[in-house]
Amino acid sequence: MIKANDPSLTSWVEVQKDSDFPIQNLPFGIVKTDQLKPRVASRIGDQIIDIKSLFILGYLDNLPFALEDFDCSSLNQLMKKGKRATSDLRNRLSKLFSDTNKDLKNNSHHVGQVLIPAEDIEMCMPVEIGDYTDFYSSRDHATNVGTMFRDPNNALLPNWLWIPVGYHGRASSIIPSGVPIKRPKGQIKPSDDADPVFASSKLLDFELEMAFITFDGKPLGDNISTKEAKDYIFGMCIMNDWSARDIQKWEYVPLGPFLAKSFASSISPWIVTMDALEPFAIEGPKQDPKVLSYLEYEGNHHYDINLEVGIQPENAEETIVCKSNYKHMYWNMVQQLAHHTVNGCNIRCGDMMASGTISGPTPESFGSMLEISWRGTKPVKMNNGSERKFIQDNDTVIMRGYCKNEHVRIGFGKVMTKVLPADE
Ligand code: MN
Q: Which of 110, 141, 302, 407 is catalytic?
A: 141
**What pLDDT digit, counting tens, does each position of 167-185 carry?**
999 999 999 999 999 999 9
136 and 109 together in one domain: no
110 and 156 together in one domain: no
- Quick check: 86 pLDDT over 90? yes
- Binned at pLDDT 50, 70 and 90, residue 77 comes out as very high
Q: How many domains does the chain have?
A: 2
- Residue 241 Cα, ligand 1 centroid: separation in angstroms? 5
Amino acid at 296: E
- Quick check: 401 pLDDT over 90? yes
Prior bond of 254 cis (ω within 30°): yes
65 and 192 together in one domain: no
- Residue 298 Cα, ligand 1 centroid: separation in angstroms? 27
- Residue 357 Cα, ligand 1 centroid: separation in angstroms? 6
Residue 424: per-residue pLDDT: 84
- Is 141 assigned a catalytic role? yes
Residue 305: per-residue pLDDT: 98
| Structural domain range at position 43 | 3-123
- pTM (2 decimals)? 0.98
173 and 35 together in one domain: no
376 to each of 209, 283, 364, 387, how far by Cα in Å? 21, 35, 16, 11
- Residue 2 Cα, ligand 1 centroid: separation in angstroms? 32
- Residue 245 Cα, ligand 1 centroid: separation in angstroms? 12
Supply the CATH number for residue 136's domain: 3.90.850.10
147 and 117 together in one domain: no
166 and 293 together in one domain: yes
Supply the CATH number for residue 117's domain: 2.30.30.230
- Alpha-carbon distance of 384 to 394, in angstroms, equals 14
Mean model confidence pLDDT for the chain:
97
- Residue 258 Cα, ligand 1 centroid: separation in angstroms? 11
**What pLDDT digit, counting tens, does each position of 353-398 carry?**
999 999 999 999 999 999 999 999 999 999 999 999 999 999 999 9
The residue out of 123, 152, 173 marking a domain boundary is 123
- Quick check: 1 pLDDT over 90? no
**What pLDDT digit, counting tens, does each position of 303-326 carry?**
999 999 999 999 999 999 999 999
Residue 249: per-residue pLDDT: 94
Name 54's Cβ contacts closer than 8 Å, sequence gap at least 6: 60, 93, 96, 104, 114
- Alpha-carbon distance of 391 to 394, in angstroms, equals 9
Any idea what DSSP says for residue 406? S
